[in-house]
Amino acid sequence: MSQDLFFFFFFFLLVFSHSACDSSSPITVQTLDINPPHYYNPKLPPRTLSSSKKFEGSSEFVDLRYHMGPVLSSPINIYLIWYGKWPQSHKLIINDFLLSISTTTPSNDHSSVAEWWRTVSLYTDQTGANVSRSVVIAGEYSDQRYSHGTQLSRLSIQQVIATAVRSAPFQIDHKNGIYLILTSVDVTVEDFCRAVCGFHYFTFPSMVGYTLPYAWVGNSGKQCPEVCAYPFAIPGYMAVSGAGALLPPNSDVGVDGMISVIGHELAELASNPLVNAWYAGEDPTAPVEIGDLCEGLYGTGGGGGYIGQVMKDNQGRTFNLNGTKGRKFLVQWIWSPVFKACAGPNALD
């Protein structure tokens, strides 16, 4: 399901935190942080002409149901396909986000990417198996020659996958593999910037040989940052209200904007890989999924033009999650099947 591009209006807000303190936990020693993050809740004008399916309130109006299909309950192997020319610095930001999902380092940081994925892992299949919390980068392939050109259709995304898996040692992993195709700033994709910033689906055996779950996300940095990298870029008409774009946590509008879209699509891919598991609505060709319901919500108090309580570092860069190697990211919340509401580990209530 693609991520919607615009926000129209917000309903009332009822957001719950799923973080809890365990009184039986051993006492830990914490060092003094001389530069603690500053919490704030910036107000930005809601996007107009929206077809957003976002809902920020209780489950009273949300009929998210399980349709008996599989979820990604086995350890998840991500196979990255870098389509086009990608600077190494951009690859490192995205890799660090993906590596933060399943960190093996014990941490008391409740606002971590790994804790954000915990909400995704609450979704189960008909056997009771949860979405796996084990997520690794199993392989990477760079298609710097634009083997299918710089103008791609939705179908040609599958051709990109087929080209990659025919190139040893990149492999077809039909048991645990998911394929993440990332297109560079100079590649246009069907409906990109107009109707989608990313989408997920599954490959056709006639094209790739197997049914493989995959997701695509594009770098909007030069094409439509005000659409797909919002709120790190905003449309010109919004500036007249006095609103300003937020500073991205890794100093790159396009790539930092991609991070939240990647999170959105991976969460939906894990909980609805064959478009027959977790979604709202009756039409599987246009499902409302766990990312769609919380699109644009990043913290407590979001709604009515506010993105929610997020953090700002001492350089003014905005984030809500901490990752590996000291990285920081701004990633949207996900609908929780437990709280029946949007949830994130940085919730303040």
Is the pLDDT confidence value at 12 over 60?
no
Q: Determine how β-strand 177-183 pairs with β-strand 76-83.
A: parallel
Residue range 169-192: average pLDDT?
A: 95
Query: pLDDT tens digit string along 272-324?
Result: 999 999 999 888 888 999 999 999 899 998 877 789 999 999 999 999 999 99
Distance CA 208, CA 202 (A): 10
Is the pLDDT confidence value at 204 over 90?
yes
Distance CA 72, CA 161 (A): 19
Residue 309 lies in a domain: yes
Expressed as residue numbers, the domain containing 249 is 38-343
Please check whether residue 114 is in contact with residue 132, taking contact to mean a CB–CB distance below 8 angstroms. no
Write the secondary structure of 173-206 as one string of H (helix), E (strand) and C (coil): CCCCEEEEEEECCCCEECCECCCECEEEEECCHH
Q: Which residue has the higher pLDDT, 99 or 17?
A: 99
Beta-carbon contacts of residue 348 (< 8 Å; ≥ 6 apart): 17, 39, 299, 300, 301, 309
Distance CA 76, CA 50 (A): 33
Report how far apart, in Å, the C-alpha atoms of 155 and of each of 245, 318, 339 are: 34, 36, 37
Residue 11 lies in a domain: no
Residue 44 lies in a domain: yes
> pLDDT band at residue 24, thresholds of 50, 70 and 90?
very low
Residue 8 lies in a domain: no
- In whole numbers, what is the pLDDT of the chain averaged over residues? 85
Distance CA 323, CA 340 (A): 26
Report pLDDT for 108: 67
| Number of compact structural domains in the chain | 1
Residue 285 lies in a domain: yes
Residue 30 lies in a domain: no
pTM of the model: 0.85
Distance CA 294, CA 303 (A): 10
> pLDDT band at residue 327, thresholds of 50, 70 and 90?
very high
Coil/strand/helix, residue 114: helix
The closest of 214, 174, 209, 233 to 83, measured between CA atoms, is 214
Residue 292 lies in a domain: yes
Residue 258 lies in a domain: yes
Report pLDDT for 110: 81
Distance CA 60, CA 260 (A): 26
Is the pLDDT confidence value at 217 over 90?
yes
